Amino acid sequence: MPGIAVAAGSTILLSFVSQWYILTELGAGRASDFYFAALAVPVVILYVLADPLSRVTLPLMSVKDEHEQSIYAWTSIDLALAMFVGIAVLLILSAPLFVRYLVPGFDGAAMSATAKLIRILALGMVLQGTGMIARSSWNAKGSFLWPSVAGMVAAGVSLLFLIFTLKRNGIVMAAWAFNLRFGTEFLLLLLPLGGFARPNWKEVPLLLRKSRPLVLGAAYFRTDVIVDRILTSLAPAGSLSLLYLAQQLLSAAGQVINQSIVAPLIPGLAKSAHKGEWTNFSRSVRTSTWRLLGLASVLVLCVVLLGKPVLGLVFSHRAMGTAEIDRLVTLITALSGMLLADAIVYLAYSAFYSAGDTVTPTVTTAILYSISIAAKIGAFMAGGVIALAITISVYYLANALLLNLALRSKLARLRESPAQPAIVDPVSSLVPLPPTPTIDA
């Protein structure tokens, strides 16, 4: 629906403007580093726990009748609320202890500032994590527009708060803007949800059992966020913020491509797989992969040719100077492999899932990801943040290549065997996707 696309696109834009405002108002320095380092903690927890739980509850709720759906929804919401409140309390108590391992390159004062922001962001984590389950509850009822609108409104409220408070009160207001955003979204999703029902705690073991494989996979894959923060905390001031921003800019472009081009291809692939039409399936994957590569190549060329003047126009305000713009352009160029490979990886995963194979892509990416962690550390020690960015690009490109080789081999075997439908369980197929940064605040 156009309304959903407009609301989702507006939310991404407002999130980007919030990051733009923080960096142009305060500059890419230690103050912004505090915030983006602290933000990694709730983001990783949400990746590991809230995302799997929301993805599992959606298909399970979708097959229930209206009454059972309400019970399942509120059981999931209450479970998420209790779980994240408990985690928030632990974060508040332990932040001063673990922050030294998260940002070993910060001095004592910087570590204290980061720990303070983690404590504030813990509230937003509770609200966002519970709100993600509420969003799944809306989606299970076939309602997609209102959750998108709620996210857009919340992002707008947060941005206005940031504009009025950041300059006067400093980076701590960015953390409170995060809380305000997801608090607003939480209320907009929960209050009109209706159908309140007492939770059925007997359903909790099933939810946890179905979520466990996703949680374990996400807990491993999402360590990339922590690794990047640890390494960039050792770099000069502002490097952490600029690398984070560069990743988010490319990720936003990837999200647009995935949702507008790749996602519409998935139903057709699923139908071909279900009918056992593997020749058509292979042709569709091959053609789409080359088209995605062509589009991404054009975008990368635009980045190389137009990146500096465009980013200069957007970011050359107040605290962001020419040196910071040059560093940002260099990082985006070094990370351009993300843009080249992200949509191709997403398509490959979708093709494997449609073919009924959830093991091959997960194992392939996990092995390569394990190698990439060691490669990141070695690259950073040898060449700093730029070398780290190049290594991230190489990981994305290698993942795309290996997944496509594995997919080609699998489809060749399927074409040679008697045509048979692929059978995929809607919950067991929800294995974690490879790490892809998203716009978080």
- Tell me what pLDDT residue 314 has: 76
Q: pLDDT tens digits for 333-345?
A: 999 999 999 999 9
Q: pLDDT tens digits for 263-273?
A: 778 778 878 88
Q: What is the dihedral of CA 81, 86, 92, 97, to 10 degrees?
A: -140
At 184, the pLDDT band (50, 70, 90 cuts) reads very high
Q: Are the CB atoms for 185 and 154 separated by under 8 Å?
A: yes
Q: Are the CB atoms for 359 and 415 separated by under 8 Å?
A: no
Predicted confidence (pLDDT) at residue 262 exceeds the cutoff of 70: yes
Say how far apart CA 312 and CA 328 lie, in whole Å. 10
Residues of the chain with pLDDT > 70, as a percent, come to 93
Say how far apart CA 244 and CA 246 lie, in whole Å. 6
Residue owning tokens 């204290």: 112
Range from 91-105, 113-127, 233-247, 318-332 carrying the lowest mean pLDDT: 318-332
At 388, the pLDDT band (50, 70, 90 cuts) reads very high
Burial (CB count <10 Å: 0-12, 13-18, 19+), residue 202: exposed
- Tell me what pLDDT residue 287 has: 94
- Tell me what pLDDT residue 211 has: 79
Q: Are the CB atoms for 430 and 214 separated by under 8 Å?
A: yes
Looking at every residue in the chain, the average pLDDT score rounds to 86
Q: What is the dihedral of CA 211, 247, 127, 220, to 10 degrees?
A: 30
- Tell me what pLDDT residue 73 has: 85
This prediction has a pTM of 0.83
Q: pLDDT tens digits for 409-419?
A: 988 888 877 55
Q: Are the CB atoms for 350 and 422 separated by under 8 Å?
A: no
